[in-house]
Amino acid sequence: MPELGRVALIVCLGLAAYAVVGGALGAHTRRRRLSESAENAVIGSFLAALVASGVLVAALVQKDFSFVYVYEHTSLELPRSYTLSAFWGGQEGSLLLWLLILTGFSALAVVLGRRSARSLLPWTVPVLGVVAGFFSFLLVAVSSPFATQAAPADGLGLNPSLQNPYMLAHPPMLYLGFVGLTIPFAFAMGALLARRGDELWIVVTRRWTLVAWTFLGFGQLLGAHWAYVEVGWGGYFAWDPVENAALMPWLAATAFLHSVMIQEKRGMLKIWNVLLVVGAFALALFGTFLTRSGILSSIHSFTESSIGPWFLGFIGFTVAASTLLIVSRLPLLRSKTRLESPISREATFLYNNLLLVAFCLTILWGVAYPILTEAVRGEPITVGPPYYNFFLKTFGLPLLLLMGIGPLIAWRRASLRGLGRIFAWPIGVAVATGLLLLALGAGSSLPGLVGYTFCAFVLASIVLEFARGTRARRALSGGSWASALAELVGRNRRRYGGYVVHASIVLLAIGVIGSSAYDTTREQRLARGETMAVGGYTLTYRGAVQRRGANAMEVRALVDVKRGGEQLGTMQPGKNSYFAEQQVSNEAAIRSDRLNGEDLFLIAEQIRSDRVFLKVLVKPLVNLIWIAGLVFLGGALIALWPDAREQRRLALRYGRQEVLARA
């Protein structure tokens, strides 16, 4: 079987090389058949990557330890469900997953592009080929998943942190997001290479960006939940370099999704938008580099490898080549229109973009600083959470505020009188909320109080937008309030889907603020029968139990929990000692209160039958973070849902030209 995998990867590399050379030649000489042949090469590369992936999956399922990769990432005792997560649990497998998703997305982009953007494909295909070629080359020549050996009796097993249901979804989601950003990048570069000054590339890639952005955002939330329930340190986001690596392209893509609206509505920010697309793609590559190179200490850096220089070289090439191309096409990208007023919707979008990019760059600096200091001084200087938290507050709070301001302001310009009228309600709600929270004692954290006041402002402005829009729609078409609301959303899915996403960000902010600014933490050694009180809970240690799990020895501390005299049950924090992997994992116990969204989080150390060391965290409103994920997904789906009216409008705009190109 390994030979088939190797041949499939070599075929994939050959097809990618052909897509680059044949595609570029076809585009340059305008030879249709050559271009179509290069497009077919992109589709064929997906088939080859699929075969290679099938071989690896088959080897994993059969636990064929003659494959070095299977030996290093599985064991006989590893439950079958986690055998699949071993596919992306190591470097070679995750690179193969990158290639599989990349070629799959590229093939889909070519098939869809033949119907909607025929004229853009000739120069887009070579760009897709370059990226696929790079990953194929790594898998063929640098880091092959098909290296073989004499089969040992058992494997080394999978990292215990990866033996969690979330690991079946979190890494693929992030990869779908990372890789998805290749498509907008390729179309943007393809449009520039073709010297196109129109906006077809934006129309074609808007949905691709939204899909990648949704996967990346939801994947990060899944990762946060994994960290919360599995890593067992009491938090969900630690500003780990690899977490940052996923956050940065998401921020860049968020900025793009907003600024692209300014280009569509006002014809502005063309250069900025191309730069954001390049930035988001380069940051996605950087994220993969951070995860896979092992250059920084991270809970995600499961291995150190030699692919780092290759990645750095490719990122450098991508940024340099894109920048040169953009500079050479500047006359095409100059906007005819200018910002009319600093108080307008496009201006708030611009402020939003500046804050998002500034936040992204400060994170990038924090991630790169240890690498640079190590290169210069020979010793890395780590940047800790206080650095990132400072900038989260500095940029995050104004961003939150802008989410409430932007949608209510008109395009072009707004008068101060008009603003007073529009914002009277949201400001009133925000001030009332702030005063109420102050009276309830939320003043213990000033950033928390300000954050909640801003959240109230944004929620009020979103509700107002829906209410005013529904009322206006009902006045126009009659019918019930529900049908008017459905019609309102249906007629402008991107806008109202976007508002739902904004609501999810507010929920996220409420959860993050509640669980970080108003949490309670206490650590105490408890003897058997002894009690401790924290955050309204009373905890009593009852002793320890030990049992044999499927692939680990499990030790659990038994802790009785009471609140206000009511017995809430027994929680069992503990440790798992994995047999094959020879590693110990922390197994936190979490009790969620669905009524108030609060979590009681227990970590047990030094577990003995007569005593235990307990770390207890009470985290208010933390459950809103996970609910925010579902709302986010709902909003993204609304925004993504195809709009027949818009499709017809776009068909009218570009259809004739595309038919001419096909003729």
Partner 1 sequence: MSIELALGALLAAAVVLFVAVPFLRAGEGPRAVELDQDVLVAAEERDRALAELKELEFDHRTGKITDEDYRALVQPLRRVAARRLANGTALPKETAELPSEQHFSASSPPSSRSKR
> Is 21 one of the binding residues for partner 1 (CB under 8 A)?
no
469 in contact with partner 1 (CB under 8 A): yes
Decide: is 124 part of the binding site for partner 1 (CB under 8 A): no
Which one, of 329, 171, 235, lies nearest residue 603 by Cα? 235
Interface segment toward partner 1; rule CB under 8 A; list 173-181, 259-267, 530-538, 563-571 = 259-267
Cα(502)–Cα(257) distance, integer angstroms: 13
Among 153, 375, 439, 663, the residue binding partner 1 under the rule CB under 8 A is: 663
Number of residues lying near partner 1 (CB under 8 A): 75
CA separation for the pair 193, 328 (Å, rounded): 10
Say how many C-beta atoms besides its own lie within 10 A of residue 644's C-beta.
8
| CA dist 556 → 159, 323, 610, 613 (Å) | 21, 56, 13, 12
CB of 106 to partner 1, least distance (A): 14
Report the site for partner 1 in 417-446 (rule: CB under 8 A). 417-418, 421-422
**Closest separation between CB of residue 434 and partner 1, Å?**
25
Is 647 an interacting residue with respect to partner 1 (CB under 8 A)?
A: yes
Residue 50 parent element (H or E): helix 32-61
When the beta carbons of 343 and 532 are compared against partner 1, the nearer one is 343
- 4 contributes a contact to partner 1 by CB under 8 A: yes
Which of 119, 159, 214, 551 binds partner 1 (CB under 8 A)? It is 119
Question: Greatest CA separation found in the chain?
Answer: 84
Residue 417 has φ and ψ, to the nearest 5°, of: -65, -45
The binding track of 305-334 with respect to partner 1, each residue x by CB under 8 A or -, is ------------------------------
Span of 465-473, 532-540, 546-554, 597-605 interacting with partner 1 by CB under 8 A:
465-473
Work out which of 21, 40, 373, 627 binds partner 1, going by CB under 8 A: 40
Residue 421 or 548: the one with the smaller Cβ distance to partner 1 is 421
Least distance CB 387 / partner 1 (angstroms): 40
Burial (0-12, 13-18, 19+ Cβ within 10 Å), 331: exposed
Stretch that binds partner 1, among 6-14, 63-71, 166-174, 503-511 (CB under 8 A): 6-14
458 lies in the binding site for partner 1 (CB under 8 A): no
Helix (H) or strand (E) holding 459: helix 446-477
- What 3-state DSSP class applies to 591? strand
Q: Does 62 bind partner 1 (CB under 8 A)?
A: no
How do beta strands 583-587 and 520-527 pair?
unpaired
Nearest one of 491, 517, 489, 484 to 501, comparing CA atoms:
489
Does residue 431 contact residue 453 with C-beta atoms inside 8 Å? yes
Pair of tokens at residue 169: 């979804």
Element (H, E) at 334: none
Q: Does 655 bind partner 1 (CB under 8 A)?
A: yes
Task: Tell me which of 476, 527, 533, 550 binds partner 1, using CB under 8 A.
Answer: 476
Query: What is the Cβ-side half-sphere exposure of residue 276, based on CA atoms within 13 angstroms?
Result: 27
Give whichever of 132 and 245 is closer to partner 1, judged by the CB atom. Answer: 132
Residue 224: exposed, middle, or buried by beta-carbon count in 10 A (0-12, 13-18, 19+)? buried
Distance in angstroms (rounded) separating the CA atoms of residues 522 and 525: 10
Contact with partner 1 (CB under 8 A) among 16, 48, 127, 507: 48
Q: Binder to partner 1 among 238, 397, 410, 637 (CB under 8 A)?
A: 410
Considering only 83-91, 111-119, 270-278, 301-309, which stretch makes contact with partner 1 by CB under 8 A?
111-119
Site for partner 1 in 180-219 (CB under 8 A): 196-200
**Among positive and negative, which fits the CA dihedral 510, 513, 515, 520?**
negative
Of 13, 17, 35, 302, which one interacts with partner 1 (CB under 8 A)? 35
Work out whether 649 is an interface residue with partner 1 (CB under 8 A). Answer: yes
Tokens read off for 352: 């939003």
**Is position 653 an interface residue for partner 1 (rule: CB under 8 A)?**
yes
